[in-house]
A and B are shown apart, each in its own frame.
Chain A
Amino acid sequence: MSIILSDINKNFGKFAALHHVNLEIPEGELVALLGPSGCGKTTLLRIIAGLETPDQGRVVVNGEDMTDRHVSRRGIGFVFQHYALFRHMTVFDNIAFGLRVKPRNERPSEADIAKKVHALLELVQLDWLAERFPDQLSGGQRQRIALARALAVEPCVLLLDEPFGALDASVRKDLRHWLRNLHQELHVTSIFVTHDQEEAMEVASQVVVFNQGQIEQQGAPAEIYENPANAFVSKFIGQTNVLHLEHNDVDWLKSAGITLDEPKGIVAHVRPHNINIQKAEENTGSPITLKDWQHLGSIIRIELFNPQLNGSGSTLFAEMPNERFKQLQLNRGDRVSVHIAHAHWFN
């Protein structure tokens, strides 16, 4: 079920939450709506669900205009950040709810409902919890039940609002992986909202970056990372060093101890892993020193200080694999020379 959003505008009082948003989501994709707090991504998700109405614009799902249709008639499944499980019902009844409220002529028999619920519980690997109540479950379990509940009515679109936001870090990692696998098994068009760019990059097949009510870029994670459309996307996704250059001049950079392939602007965004470090030769007099380094497991993050850059000096972050760092045998306070392999230029 493809989704097309055309010219969506939404205001809350004077605050423009969404501004002329146009978005097309192809069928069967797992799409992340990514952005900082307050950028409008949750509002857009709720508009797709029908929990909010846009001030302007249309929502078209699989060719059908859903803009004026009530949330209960849209055939969507919604998973909330805080699970929203029905606290007075058992896990079984929670999942069966959607099936039990179907109109009489569509409603399956209790036996069929039981079969379906147990199949879903097995899908989320929680069949042993069927008779428990939500308050007896852990956060990760609750979220999986919430997902099973949303899937029970076989929605054409699955919408998830920061589904892992309320969970511990390790549970979050497990569930991200699990959700990706589930999507590959079921192929339901899914859209999830997150402010965690690592999560978006890890889970989604398409990432849509939002900022202040507008879409900055849409594309596969690799595309967004390698070719950010503007400075915001470049800074928001992954780590970046921002270099404001005073002269468009390779020589100047050389004296600052930085070798750089042909500059194309005045602001360079450089990814830490694109900064190559060597121990400085004695005669070059490079001003860059290795200030500190942090061991992050497979990667070492290195803090470099350049007293000449940007006036009073600035810090650069570089990353290199663990093994290479050991080979170089660098110490705090060493002078180093730096080669920038690739930069994105923005004005």
Chain B
Amino acid sequence: MHVATHPVGDTQGKANPQALRDPVWVRWGLTGIAILFIVLFLCVPLGLVLFQALVKGWQAYFNALVQPDAVAALKLTLLVAVVTVPLNTVFGVAAAWAITRFEFRGKSLLTTLIDLPFSVSPVISGLIFVLMFGAQGWFGSWLSANNIKIIFAAPGIILATLFITFPFVARELIPLMQEMGCEEEEAALSLGASGWETFFKITLPNIKWALLYGVLLCNARAMGEFGAVSVVSGHIRGLTNTLPLHVEVSYNDYDAVGAFASASILAGLAVVTLVLKSLLEWKQSRERLAY
């Protein structure tokens, strides 16, 4: 408690005393199995995607990507991400704040509900919206009377993605905010800060890495979601296909290069997400060591 922060890695080497170390063969065996798993189920498929995308050369790859349907799919995916990620960030922060800072009836119910999208099959998640807003749905007649399209249009895709990606930010923040406690915020209030000032000056800086981590996961899922979006989209080429759906449609049309080219973009997104994720984890562990 008396000394300045240690650089990362200082304590790692000393963390495992001789008595608790497994024998060499156990350590290498387990590590080996993990590496084998990663290579078989991650590296090989990713490599294959890239290989198949480029099997007919760079020009074919490029043409596949600038095709109007592909471009439209990419634009729709980006639109969905740009709308759902900020909204779910706000919802997530609000939910985490309510759960960790207030006492109210139904609190445990809310906490359970937040996890609901994880436990429900993505297809069912999509179906919910079809049953509510589809032509035979609860609001179906009202919507068609007012010429509002939700199912088989972008709004439906956005709603389904909002539902699916809702838990990510909240689940990252809730344990962190519970562990941090509310003393710093109470101190800020006692010094005369308003609720909003306390949030922006005290809470937000303390949760920023976890928040970014949650946003990153939310984004990755928003861009890559297939099941729920597939149910609500209607697969109308050039209009309601997101990038993952476009991959499926192209593949079913025997356009292998097109499919793998679009898939390579998603694979690239996965790699970028992993890199950023590692960076954020590293940042978070540095902060934790410092306390």
A interface list, Cβ under 8 A from B? 49-51, 70-73, 76-78, 80, 82, 84-88, 97-98, 101-102, 133, 135-136, 138-139, 146, 149-150, 152-153
Contacts and interface: CB of A to CB of B under 8 A. Distances in A.
Interface stretch (B49-57, B169-177, B184-192, B217-225): B184-192
Nearest to A74: B190
Contact of B190 (A51, A87, A88): A51
B30 interface: no
Interface string B1-34: 1111100000000000000000000000000000
B190 A76 contact: yes
Contact of B191 (A88, A101, A138): A101
A84 B189 contact: no
Given A71-B189, A97-B191, A84 B184 contact: yes
A88 B205 contact: yes
A101 B183 contact: no
Contact of A72 (B4, B5, B194, B290): B194
A138 B2 contact: yes
A171 to B, nearest CB: 11
B255 interface: no
B183 A82 contact: yes
B188 A97 contact: yes
B187 A78 contact: yes
Given A84-B183, A86-B202, A88-B205, A138 B192 contact: no
Contacts of A77: 190-191
Given A87-B206, A87-B291, A101 B192 contact: yes
B193 interface: yes
A154 B18 CA distance: 55
A55 B3 CA distance: 45
B206 A49 contact: no
A201 to B, nearest CB: 28
A135 B183 CA distance: 16
26 contacts: A51-B189, A51-B190, A71-B189, A72-B193, A76-B190, A77-B190, A78-B190, A80-B186, A80-B187, A84-B184, A84-B187, A86-B188, A97-B188, A97-B191, A97-B193, A97-B201, A98-B191, A98-B192, A101-B192, A102-B192, A133-B290, A135-B5, A138-B2, A139-B1, A149-B191, A150-B190
Interface of B: 1-5, 183-184, 186-194, 197, 201-202, 205-206, 290-291
Nearest to A81: B183
Given A82-B183, A86-B184, A86-B188, 7 more contacts: A51-B186, A73-B192, A80-B183, A84-B183, A86-B187, A102-B192, A138-B2
A135 B291 contact: yes
Nearest to B205: A88
Contacts of B194: 72, 101
Nearest to A135: B290
Contacts of B189: 51, 70-72
Nearest to A46: B186
A72 B186 contact: no
A169 to B, nearest CB: 15
A5 B270 CA distance: 61
The 4 closest A-B pairs by CB, nearest first: A98-B191, A84-B183, A78-B190, A84-B187
B183 to A, nearest CB: 4
A98 B290 CA distance: 25
Nearest to A101: B193
Nearest to B2: A138
A139 B183 CA distance: 16
Contacts of A51: 186, 189-190
Contacts of B2: 138
B190 A71 contact: yes
Contacts of B183: 80, 82, 84
A86 B183 CA distance: 10
A49 B190 contact: yes
A84 B182 CA distance: 9
A88 B206 CA distance: 7
Contacts of A101: 188, 191-194, 197, 201
